[in-house]
């Protein structure tokens, strides 16, 4: 049985994947698990719409920070690529656009897909919070959104963004 890859090995593997021309035109989101294995998942057009709606809301409500679609984050379960993140000016000053981020920005958003399980999303949420995220938002297919923090599930966000994207 293989061993979990070190953060350095995962970051190196991520850079190899970014440079691989065979992966350049895949219509899937790619992530790495803790063993450095590629995981892929397809996205619907509704998924893409919700991703953009969340990003637009973040840019409007929190213009001082940076909103990024599909930012790569090094976590204890691999390199994960949430749909949207928001990074404060302090986070950007500390991390710039390093790839993958070695810690999570303050807000991490997962738009739920039919292929997602609650256990998978719980695991990602725990990993993002452990990597430094303050809130992890889950956006369902109907646009309903809940923020998750180290203290549990919230119906609102501490960042003053109106949740709910239809």
Which pLDDT tens digit goes with each residue over 19-64?
999 888 887 888 999 988 988 888 889 999 999 999 999 999 999 9
Q: Are 84 and 73 in contact (CB under 8 A)?
A: no
Torsion sign across C-alpha atoms 50, 152, 102, 42: negative
CATH architecture of 43-154: Alpha-Beta Complex (3.90)
- Measure the CA–CA gap between 12 and 21, rounded to whole angstroms: 16
- Measure the CA–CA gap between 93 and 96, rounded to whole angstroms: 6
Q: For the chain, what is the HEC assignment? A: CCCCCCHHHHHHHHHHHHHCHHHCCCCEEEEEECCCCEEEEECCHHHHHHHHHHHHHHHHHCCCCEEEECCCEEECCEEECCCEEEECHHHHHHHCCCCCECCCCCEEEEECCCCCCHHHHHHHHHHHHHCCCCEEEEECCCCCEEEEECCEEECCCCCCCCCCCC
Q: Kindly indicate the confidence band of residue 1, based on its pLDDT and cuts at 50, 70 and 90.
A: very low
Q: Mean pLDDT score of the chain, rounded to an integer?
A: 93
Mean pLDDT of 12-25: 88
- Measure the CA–CA gap between 76 and 6, rounded to whole angstroms: 9
């Amino acid at each position: 049985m293989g061993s979990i890859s070190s953060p350095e090995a995962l970051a190196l593997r991520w850079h190899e994947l970014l440079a691989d021309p065979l992966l350049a035109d895949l219509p899937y989101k790619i992530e790495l698990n803790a063993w450095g294995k590629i995981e892929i998942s397809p996205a619907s057009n509704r998924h893409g719409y919700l991703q953009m709606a969340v990003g637009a809301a973040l840019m409007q409500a929190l213009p001082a920070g940076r909103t990024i679609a599909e930012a790569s984050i090094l976590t204890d379960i691999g390199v994960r690529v949430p749909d949207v993140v928001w990074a404060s000016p302090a986070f950007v000053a500390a991390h710039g656009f390093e790839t993958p981020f070695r810690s999570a920005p303050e807000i991490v958003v997962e738009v739920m897909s039919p292929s997602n399980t609650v256990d998978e999303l719980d695991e990602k949420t725990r990993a993002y919070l452990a990597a430094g995220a303050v809130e992890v938002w889950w956006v369902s297919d109907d646009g309903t959104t809940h923020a998750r923090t180290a203290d549990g599930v919230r119906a609102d966000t501490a960042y003053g963004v109106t949740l709910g994207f239809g």
